[in-house]
Copies of this chain bind each other. A is one copy, B any other.
Amino acid sequence: MAKSRFRQTKKRKPVIDALARSILAGNTRTAARVLSLIENRDPLANEVMKHLYSRTGRAGVVGITGSAGSGKSTLIDRMTEELRRRKKAVGILTIDPTSPFTGGALLGDRVRMRGHFLDKSVFIRSLATRGGHDGLSGCLCAAVQVLDAMGKDYVLIETIGIGQDQIGIAGLADTVLVIVTPESGDEVQGLKAGILEIADLLVINKADRPGAEELFLNLGNLLGDHGVSTFKTSATKNEGVGALIDGIEKHRAECVASGNHRQRSLDISRAQVLASVRDQLMVKVQRKLGEREIAHWAQQIADKTVDPYTAAEKIVGKMGL
């Protein structure tokens, strides 16, 4: 780390300590502030995370994915109600790679979840994946750890996508729920392999609609053979949610017992340290090269005097690594 940045960090030490202490005390405003630092890739975020890291690893992380219109948000709302009845503190992260098209949808979710906004034990936050970031997962991983360090028993991650980066939702969550509906039945038939690849639990939401029972029997048998349990819920009627939460708790307990949880934690640690090495190296390289030389290479590449791969080899060669 360059001296200037080190000095800056030194000077900021009381700030960092205060932020970390406040998060460990469960302060919602501080958590929101640190999540913004993470989103903005402020170096201060890493310093705060260093303080928090040893206090993470306790929360159950649940990834919830499914196509638009599958009723994810309403189901998450119901799941949160059920978890609160069980005296669990809940953190919710909403991710949508289709931003900027989600501004409206997120606003809608917030209105729907307004009951929980008054509940101090529920923390809700949406993470944008707007351009300019080099992948979401580093941010997402740190965001989960902030909520974990705050003392949330469960962190629910809502996403319409997977696999944005090395640690996709399937790598980050202890339990991945895939939500389908009777309406998506035909589509689901062609997607069994894809669902199997990431789902720990399959949820057939809108189970009061026609075709739900058929889908349940059809998928239940197939997925059951692969160790994926199938649940039926009707989020709007608040049916089947208790059984789903039981299923999530059971799955987590099994993961811990089987050693899968330990392996996942190792995989996340590996990806997180390599991502941080990558980020730090790129800061160093860009500082060492200087903006003028980078611009010079870009110019030559744009002029087709050199291709980007050969240019990169030359730059890496100069780094003496």
A interface list, Cβ under 8 A from B? 1, 46-47, 49-50, 53-54, 56-57, 66-68, 97-101, 103-105, 107, 129-135, 160-166, 168, 170-171, 186-187, 190-191, 193-195, 197-198, 262, 265-270, 272-274, 276-282, 284-286, 288, 294-295, 297-299, 301-302, 304, 307-313, 315-316, 319-321
Q: Are A163 and B195 in contact (CB under 8 A)?
A: no
For the residues of A in contact with B, the DSSP-based class is helix
A277 with B135: in contact, given A266-B302, A310-B50 (CB under 8 Å)?
A: no
A-B pairs with beta carbons under 8 Å apart, 7 shown: A53-B304, A97-B164, A101-B191, A130-B162, A132-B163, A269-B299, A273-B297
Q: Are A312 and B277 in contact (CB under 8 A)?
A: yes
Q: Which residues from chain B contact A50 at a C-beta distance below 8 Å?
A: 307, 309-310
Bound-state Cα–Cα, A193 to B102, Å:
12
Q: Are B197 and A100 in contact (CB under 8 A)?
A: yes
Q: Are B162 and A131 in contact (CB under 8 A)?
A: yes
Q: Which residues from chain B contact A269 at a C-beta distance below 8 Å?
A: 297-299, 301-302, 308
Q: Are B315 and A294 in contact (CB under 8 A)?
A: no
Complex: chain B residue closest to A98, CB-CB: B161
Partner of A134, one of B135, B268, B270, B315: B135
Q: Are A273 and B131 in contact (CB under 8 A)?
A: no
Q: Are B274 and A103 in contact (CB under 8 A)?
A: no
Q: Which residues from chain B contact A104 at a C-beta distance below 8 Å?
A: 186-187, 190-191
CB distance from A144 to the nearest CB of B (A): 13
CB distance from A193 to the nearest CB of B (A): 7
Bound-state Cα–Cα, A98 to B295, Å:
35
Q: Which residues from chain B contact A281 at a C-beta distance below 8 Å?
A: 278, 281-282, 285, 316, 319, 321
Partner of A277, one of B131, B285, B295: B285
Q: 10 shortest A-B CB distances, which residue pairs?
A: A100-B194, A131-B163, A276-B312, A53-B307, A269-B301, A131-B168, A270-B298, A97-B161, A104-B187, A272-B308
Bound-state Cα–Cα, A103 to B315, Å:
40
Q: Which residues from chain B contact A190 at a C-beta distance below 8 Å?
A: 103-104, 107
Bound-state Cα–Cα, A1 to B314, Å:
10
Bound-state Cα–Cα, A190 to B105, Å:
10
Bound-state Cα–Cα, A309 to B275, Å:
9
Q: Are B301 and A274 in contact (CB under 8 A)?
A: no
CB distance from A43 to the nearest CB of B (A): 10
CB distance from A321 to the nearest CB of B (A): 5
Complex: chain B residue closest to A55, CB-CB: B304
CB distance from A253 to the nearest CB of B (A): 19
Bound-state Cα–Cα, A131 to B130, Å:
19
Partner of A321, one of B186, B193, B285, B301: B285
